[in-house]
Amino acid sequence: MTLPPRRRLIAAAKAAFPPTIPILAGFIFLGITCGIYAGSLGLPWWVPPLMSICIFAGSAEFVVASMLVAPFNPIQTFITVFVINARHLFYGISMLDRFRGLGRKRAYLIFGMCDETFSINYAAKVPEGIDRGWFMFFVSLFNQLYWICGCTLGAVCGTLLAVHIEGVSFAMTALFVVIFLDQWLKDGVHAGAWTGILASLGTLIVFGPDGFIIPAMVLILIVLTLTRTPVERALTAHDERGGDDA
Amino acid sequence: MTTAQMLATIAIAAAATILTRALPFIAFPAGKQTPPYIQYLGRVLPGAVFGLLVVYCLREVDVFTGMHGLPEALGVLVAGSTYLWKRNMLLSIAISTVLYMLIVNVA
């Protein structure tokens, strides 16, 4: 892979920064919380930064921190983390085509695909003249840097910092709401969106907040598989009308 | 746990996370034709996933006690309506987050 001229890189980095601003706020605060939490468990200061660099998955890192003060159990760690992060499987399926032909950047894009990075990279309109691969690369990199900074700050300064500002993390909820709406407006066929909302709400009521993700994923797959024939017919009809589907 | 065991646990957690992100790319490599069923899923799953993520973010909201989820409902409504109006993601996120923070800190 030949490195593009520096100017193209800088342009891609500049274009990638604005969409990550909500994540900057959210990840710094959430990262500090994660760092402080690990410290409160009595873990050494280097644990949160190391996790933010090599795991980079918010909710899983909280759980791993609690596992580090329990007896060593590698199999349980693997299964628990895989289940917590199983939703990423759906992100990969959605990104199969978009990560094509991106050379070595692809490996980092796949590694860094947390909820927020996936959402921005899936939804963002890459500005005219900006390299799409480098744009997505910088979105991933910036988001991870925010997370590393937050976790490190929380771990090193710990309770000294004591920045508990209630409600900053609502930025994440708002981000997903806006992206959901944006996707809704782009999609001519809303079968996926309805399935996602209703299956998640239904399984949340039945299984509760700690155990609904996997049942929701299974239900989404079942519903979208059973309705494939009519949904595909609707998608084809939408395409033939010249629908602008992302 | 010893330091070595800690490092091993973190490495295992990292491997499990990478696997969830990379598995589709390993199963359906770029050179080969992706099965039509997976292509179909790739097209309908994003809408479903964003719906799932919204519900996931709001999973701890208790509609029966406290503020009955009103701050969250208001935040979501404001984020959605301002986005429909201005089509500006950052603006909608900023306004709804500030409003939400005001409510939960003042109320």
Residue B76 in domain: yes
Residue A214 in domain: yes
Q: Do A190 and B47 make contact, defined as CB atoms within 8 angstroms?
A: yes
Comparing alpha-carbon positions, the chain A residue that sits nearest to B46 is A94
A196 and A149 both lie in a single domain: no
Residue B93 in domain: yes
Task: Give the domain-ending residue among A139, A165, A186.
Answer: A186
CA distance B11 to B15: 6
pLDDT tens for the 246 residues of chain A, in order: 456 688 899 999 999 999 999 899 889 888 888 888 888 888 999 999 999 999 999 889 988 998 999 999 999 899 889 988 999 999 999 999 999 889 889 999 999 999 999 999 999 889 999 999 999 999 999 999 999 999 999 898 876 665 566 777 788 889 889 989 988 998 889 999 999 999 999 999 999 998 898 899 999 999 999 999 999 999 999 888 876 544
For residue A116, the enclosing domain spans: 6-186
A120 and A228 both lie in a single domain: no
- Domains held by chain A: number: 2
Q: How far is A178 from chain B (nearest CA, A)?
A: 6
Nearest to A77 among B9, B47, B58 (CB): B9
A90 and A211 both lie in a single domain: no
* CA dihedral (A58, B71, A197, A174) positive or negative: negative
Q: Which residue has tokens 């390299």? A: A131
Q: Do A88 and B20 make contact, defined as CB atoms within 8 angstroms?
A: yes
A24 and A132 both lie in a single domain: yes
Q: Do B54 and A177 make contact, defined as CB atoms within 8 angstroms?
A: yes
Max CA distance (Å), chain A? 61
Residue B52 in domain: no
Residue A167 in domain: yes
Comparing alpha-carbon positions, the chain B residue that sits nearest to A100 is B30
Scored b (16 or more CB within 10 A) or e, A132-146 reads ebbbbbbbbbbbbeb
Q: How far is A231 from chain B (nearest CA, A)?
A: 9
Nearest to B79 among A21, A99, A178 (CB): A178
For residue B103, the enclosing domain spans: 60-107
Rg (CA), chain A: 20
Residue B68 in domain: yes
Residue A240 in domain: yes
A35 and A84 both lie in a single domain: yes
